[in-house]
Amino acid sequence: MSILINKNTRLVVQGITGNEGLFHTGQMVAYGTNVVAGVTPGKGGEWVMNGKIPVFDTLQTAVETTGANTSVIFVPARFAPDAILEAADAGVQLIVCITEGIPVQDMMRVRSYIDQKGVRLVGPNCPGMLTPGECKVGIIPNTIAIPGNVGIVSRSGTLTYEVLYALRGAGLGASTCVGIGGDPVNGTNFLDVLDMFEADPHTEKVVMIGEIGGSDEEKAADFINRKMTKPVVSFIAGQSAPAGKRMGHAGAIIEGGTGTAKDKIRALESAGVRVAKHPEEIPSLL
């Protein structure tokens, strides 16, 4: 069992004929994801993956023709806001945006619009999601996770792989792994995913990987304290980061003394969360 994606996911890939779109479509198909369509404006009528996946000019036609219920976005940052809105208007229920570097004001407008529509967005600037053994939407490497009962939610990409890899090394598997992305304005936050893991009967424990910047980890701590019955283990990246410097992710910056790793760890620990000193310590805390 899982959250958000599973065997019933019917995926459409926005930007399927681009370098990254095509490569990762191949990876997702190899994993067993049911990729039903792709969209690239101007390339409608073509087929990719040895003639198995049809390409459409618009998302609307792709959804109407194939019954896609989930979309994943691999288009460049300047076109990505449009791609998200197009997906929301086409009636897709879940949108996963991998694209990095979308201007924050664009994301604020997009977020305001999709909230009104009631559509769920995961990302942007995220590795996507993985339900081991069932379905992969995004770019998480195919071989690093096994099925299990640990739910994982993370603001980071490769650090998440590191944790999945460490879990596998300890014989622990994942129910679903959700990368929510490292941008200051995104679609789905820790709270949303923690709530879903709490309700998912097959998730027994949760790993939350946060980083410096913003206050989402503090809010998650409050939620865990009030609402969660399942044990949560966490790691916060950026304990050695200086203030005022943006650590790669647009969202990873300590501003005006807020958003430090110390504050986040304190909030989590007082909510009963076990916080690992380093990512490889996580399996032993579970």
Partner 1 sequence: MKLHEYQSKQIFARYGVAIPRGRVAASASDAKQIAEELGGKVVVKAQVLVGGRGKAGGIRLARSSKEAAELATTILGMEIKGLPVRKVLIDEAASFSKEIYLGITNDRAAKRPVIMASAAGGVDIEEVAAQTPEKIIKIRIDPLMGLREYQARDLAVSIDLPRELWRSFSEIARGLWSAYQACDATLAEINPLVITTDQRLVALDGKMDIDDNALFRHSDLNEMRDLDVENWAEIEARKYGLSYISLDGEIGCMVNGAGLAMATMDMIKLSGGEPANFLDIGGGAGAEKVAAALRIILADKKVKAVLFNIFGGITRCDEVARGVLAALNEVHTSVPMVVRLVGTNAEEGRQLLAEAKMATAETLLEAAQKAVAIAKGATL
Intra-chain end-to-end CA distance of the chain, in Å: 19
In this complex, which beta carbon is closest to partner 1, that of residue 106 or of residue 198? 106
Q: Which of 93, 113, 173, 285 binds partner 1 (CB under 8 A)?
A: 113
Sign of CA dihedral 4, 215, 163, 35: positive
Shortest approach of partner 1 to residue 57 CB, angstroms? 25
Q: Which of 40, 66, 70, 156 binds partner 1 (CB under 8 A)?
A: 156
Q: By CB under 8 A, tell whether 208 contacts partner 1.
A: no
In this complex, which beta carbon is closest to partner 1, that of residue 141 or of residue 147? 141
Q: Which of 57, 204, 222, 280 binds partner 1 (CB under 8 A)?
A: 280
In this complex, which beta carbon is closest to partner 1, that of residue 200 or of residue 216? 216
Q: By CB under 8 A, tell whether 92 contacts partner 1.
A: no
Which of the residues 24, 202, 249, 278 is marked catalytic?
249
* Of 161, 164, 218, the residue nearest 191 (C-alpha): 218
Residues 6+ apart with CB under 8 A from 118: none
Shortest approach of partner 1 to residue 197 CB, angstroms? 20
Q: Which amino acid is located at 59 in the chain?
A: L
278 flagged as catalytic: no
Dihedral (C-alpha) 31, 209, 122, 1: value to the nearest 10 degrees? 50
Q: Per DSSP, which regions of 213-271 are E strands?
A: 232-237
Report CA-CA distances (Å) from 261 to 161, 183, 196, 239, 257: 21, 17, 25, 5, 11
Residue carrying structure tokens 């790669």? 248
* Catalytic annotation, residues: 249
Binding stretches for partner 1 (CB under 8 A): 20, 77-78, 100-106, 108-109, 111-113, 127, 139-141, 144, 154-162, 165, 182, 184-185, 209, 211-212, 214-215, 219, 235, 237-242, 245-252, 277-280
